Amino acid sequence: MWLRYGVDAENKLVEVENVPSGRTYLRCPYCASALIAKKGKVKEHHFAHDGATCNLVIKREPCDIPRLPLYDAFNIFLTGKELEQLNKLWHRHKSHENGIDRLEILPAFTRESFVEISQNINAATERKAYQFTKLGQIPVGALPLSAFNCVQEPLIEQKLALLESAIFDNSGSVLPREELWVRLTDLRIYSDQIRKILLASLYYLKVQADGQVFHKIGITTRSIDSRLVEIYRDVRSHFQNVDIEVVRTWANRGNIERYFKYRYSSGNYPIGSLTEYFKFATPNETQPVERDLHQMPAKVLSPAEQDILAGKQDDFLVALLADEQTKADNRRVSDSASAHAGLRIEANLRQRFLAQPSSQKIIAALHQGDRLRDAAKASVAVEVAHKVIAVVHSICECTTGLSD
């Protein structure tokens, strides 16, 4: 149920939210089969194949799916029982300085890096104690919003770098056509999700209606004034006297809305079918929420995010996919034309990959004499660093071969 994108006749990505339920004019971006939009009230909206689902969609591991980290799955692959135990552990130890004894730690907590060894010794057991990491505070809804950004944003960039490096094999060569098509499609879908959250502004409203006070969280890609007209109409269908105050808006913060709902789910206040409203009983409950929001700094776009937001990333990938199709068509006509197209594609992919900020960090660190793992540990996966080196070597080999 993870496929949320189809492609139209012009090979443009279309999200499931932008089409009506039922049969569509869209095709699967992986296998080109016709798609049906599944938009019920229980399961997450998604596309299904009009026939047998292709293996590229149905057999993928969760870690291999091109979805944003920490965007819509805050239990981070925990089972229900594991999440329940994690919550108990948090409430039992959040205010204690003794730390958590290792016997209370489930394997999943260390596997997902939710806990780490602390500097304290557990007073009761006299053994080394554990403490929650920032990542571990997310499933229990304890991490402040500003800290959540600091955790999620590097993970988004790291996965982007992994997807960019996945188009090369370990020798630095571009993957064969079929595999390359899949990896480029993964990269397109992932980049579009980044673009979606960057295009959206987060807003927080105070609503007074017939003597009641509640708040609304939401995101919009339009002006807040345009959105307020709709919100006012929605609330007026349930209340007579309505006044709405914009507490604050945050540009490029579409990533925060879902975590806010998760973190403050106990205050959720549904109004009929309207679900993005929150009601806090006292100022002692309202003020910490507003403080949590106000402490978020303004979003500063990285160079990679600027390219994605401007659509440059997708334009580049669409052109490459078109080149790949041309290369496949030409193979039936001319081996030399096919080879020329293939060399152009490989050169473009290598050049763009090495120009990415993550690749430049690795190259700069290695030039300074850092070891590979030390060069990668700050913000780039070691496997990405290996691919950077392999691609550099492959370019050097090609250059040497041409000079010979």
Instruction: Give tens-digit pLDDT for 239-254.
Output: 999 999 999 999 999 9
**Per-residue model confidence as pLDDT tens digits over 374-402:** 555 555 778 888 888 888 888 876 655 44
- Cα-Cα-Cα-Cα dihedral of 319, 320, 323, 328, to 10°? -140
The full set of domain ranges for the chain reads 1-65, 80-137, 201-294
Longest dimension (CA), the chain: 83
pLDDT of 393 reads 84
The pTM assigned to this predicted structure is 0.88
pLDDT of 399 reads 56
Residue 149: CB atoms within 10 Å: 18
CA dist., res. 140 & res. 154, Å (int): 20
Contact between 101 and 89 under an 8 Å Cβ cutoff? The reply is no
CA dist., res. 79 & res. 111, Å (int): 13
Residue 352: CB atoms within 10 Å: 16
pLDDT of 347 reads 81
The region that residue 210 occupies, defined by phi over 0 for left and psi between -120 and 50 for alpha, beta otherwise, is left
**Distance separating the N- and C-terminal Cα atoms of the chain:** 52
The structure tokens 């080999």 sit at: 397
Pick out the chain residues at pLDDT < 70: 1, 122-126, 321-342, 369-379, 397-404
The structure tokens 């089409």 sit at: 19
pLDDT of 120 reads 72
- At position 368, the amino acid (one-letter code) is Q
Contact between 17 and 3 under an 8 Å Cβ cutoff? The reply is no
Nearest to 30 by CA among 13, 45, 10: 13
